[in-house]
Amino acid sequence: MKRLRGITLPAAALALALLAPDLRAAASGAAPDGGPASTAPSAPSPGATADAPGTPAAQDPAGMRPRGKLPIRAEDRLLPQECLFTNGTAHSMARPDIYRSLLARYGDGWSHMHHYCNALRQSLEYNRHGTTTTRRRDLARRMVVELDYVIRQSPPDFPLLPMVMLRRLDTLRLVGRSREAFDSTVEFVERFPDLAEGHARLAWELRRAGRAAEADAVLGRARGIVTNPAELDAALQRLAALN
C-alpha cells in the first residue's frame, strides 16, 4: 500500500468529507445524470457529501486538468480535485473557465471554499502519525476557524452550506469538543429541517448519551418532516457502520 507522509492514501481519502459528484459535472457544464446542463445550482445530499469520497486530485475523469504542467502538491492529491479550482489557486488561474463555471453554478459561496479545502488539508496533518500535541492543538483550532469562515461568509442559500456545516460537526467531534458538536447538530436540524442527515445525527448523539427515548422521538418527528424518509434510514445505517 502506497503511503504519503505517514498516511495510507485510500484510508485518508475515505476519512474526508468530500465534494459531491455533481460538482465535477458543473466544471464541464454537464448535468450530474448526463442530461442537459443546468444553470441553477442544486444542493447535493448532505449524507452523500459527508461520507462518500469524491475523486482525488490525482485523477481527472471530468477533464479538469489545468493547461500546461502545473504540479499538484502531494497533499492535494488526497483532496477532491475541485480544491485545485478554488479562489486564488494557481490551477484556477490557469483554468479560469473551470473556476468561473463552479462560481456560476454555486454562487458567491464558492469564492470562500478554499477555506473548506484548507480545513481538509489541516485534517490530514492532524491525523498524521508524528504530529506533535502542540501542533495538533493548533490545527484543532484552525480547522474550526476555516469552516466557520465559510459558514459566516456564504449566503444562506449556498448549496454546499449543509456539507460545510456537517464537516464542522465532524471536526468538533474529532477534536474533543463534544458539547459544541451536539449544540451544532441541533442548530443544523433547525436550519435544515428537511434534510435527513441532521435528524439522524441528532438521534445518534442522543443514543450515545443514553437518551434513547429522546432519540426515538427525534426520528418519529423526522419521518414526517424530511423530504425523503428513505434517506433517514440510510443515514442511520451509515452512522452505525462508521461508529
pLDDT of residue 9: 32
d(CA 147, CA 114): 10
CA distances from 223 to 44, 155, 156, 230 (A): 20, 28, 24, 9
Express each pLDDT in 167-205 by its tens digit. 999 999 999 999 999 999 999 999 999 999 999 999 999
Listed in sequence order, the DSSP H helices in 128-175 are 133-153, 161-174
Fold of 177-243: 1.25.40
The amino acid at residue 63 is G
Residues 167/119, Cβ–Cβ less than 8 Å: yes
pLDDT of residue 30: 41
pLDDT of residue 188: 97
User: Given the C-alpha cell 505517514, which residue does it identify?
Assistant: 6
The amino acid at residue 8 is T
d(CA 178, CA 195): 22
The CA dihedral of 206, 211, 217, 223, to the nearest 10 degrees, is 30
Backbone angles phi, psi at 56, to 5 degrees: -60, 160
* Residues of the chain where predicted confidence (pLDDT) is lower than 70: 1-69
pLDDT of residue 156: 93
Residues 62/43, Cβ–Cβ less than 8 Å: no
Tell me the domain boundaries of the chain: 8-28+45-57+72-158, 177-243
pLDDT of residue 67: 52
d(CA 236, CA 201): 8
The amino acid at residue 112 is H
Q: Which 3-state string (H, E, C) describes 5-32?
A: CCEEHHHHHHHCCCCCHHHHHHHHCCCC
d(CA 38, CA 85): 20
CA distances from 190 to 113, 178, 193, 199 (A): 23, 19, 6, 10
Bridge partners of 80, per DSSP, are 56
pLDDT of residue 70: 72
pLDDT of residue 68: 52
Residues 156/12, Cβ–Cβ less than 8 Å: no
